[in-house]
């Protein structure tokens, strides 16, 4: 039998890597709010014009806009941390050489920009 010291609620505050991990996990909360807004909006769209107009009014509330802006920033932070970890977790080899981590990260961001450009072209073009 081995001794295990008790784990306090603030165990993660003692190490910067744990703090970064907890911050990354915390990004799920504003994203959950955004997804709920989106789901309710889709539901409202199917319920008729009055429901849709009410949903649009709620979405123009400054607090909702602020939380969605936080969700956007959280999603960018989450993507950045994922893109930084990806080359370490899953290095890609072509032939006998490993693709540089910077190239993988740049490729992922290029993919994000490409998808954004496609969506912008489809909906705002």
Residue 54 located in a structural domain: yes
What confidence tens digit (pLDDT) does each residue in 83-121 have?
Answer: 999 999 999 999 889 999 999 999 999 999 999 999 999
CATH number at residue 65: 1.20.1300.10
Say if 98 falls within a structural domain: no
Strands 93-94 and 97-98: antiparallel
Domain that holds residue 24: 11-90
Q: What is the pLDDT of residues 45-85, one digit of tens each?
A: 999 999 999 999 999 999 999 999 999 999 999 999 999 99
Is residue 105 one of the residues assigned to a domain? no
Structural domain count, the chain: 1
Structural domain includes residue 18: yes
With a threshold of 0.85, does the pTM exceed it? Answer: no
**DSSP code string of 36-104:** HHHHHHHHHHHH-HHHHHHHHHHHTSHHHHHHHHHHHHHHHHHHHHHHHHHHHHS--EETTEEPPHHHH
């Amino acid at each position: 039998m081995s001794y295990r010291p008790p784990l306090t609620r603030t165990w993660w505050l003692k190490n910067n890597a744990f703090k970064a991990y907890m911050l990354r996990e915390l990004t799920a909360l504003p994203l959950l709010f955004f997804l709920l807004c989106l789901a309710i909006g889709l539901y409202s769209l199917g319920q008729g014009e009055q429901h849709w107009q009410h949903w649009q009014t709620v979405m123009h509330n400054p607090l909702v806009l602020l939380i969605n802006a936080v969700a956007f920033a959280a999603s960018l932070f989450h993507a950045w941390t994922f893109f930084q970890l990806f080359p370490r977790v899953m290095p890609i080899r072509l032939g006998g050489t490993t693709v540089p981590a910077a190239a993988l990260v740049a490729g992922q961001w290029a993919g994000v920009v490409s998808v954004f450009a496609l969506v912008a072209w489809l909906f705002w073009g």
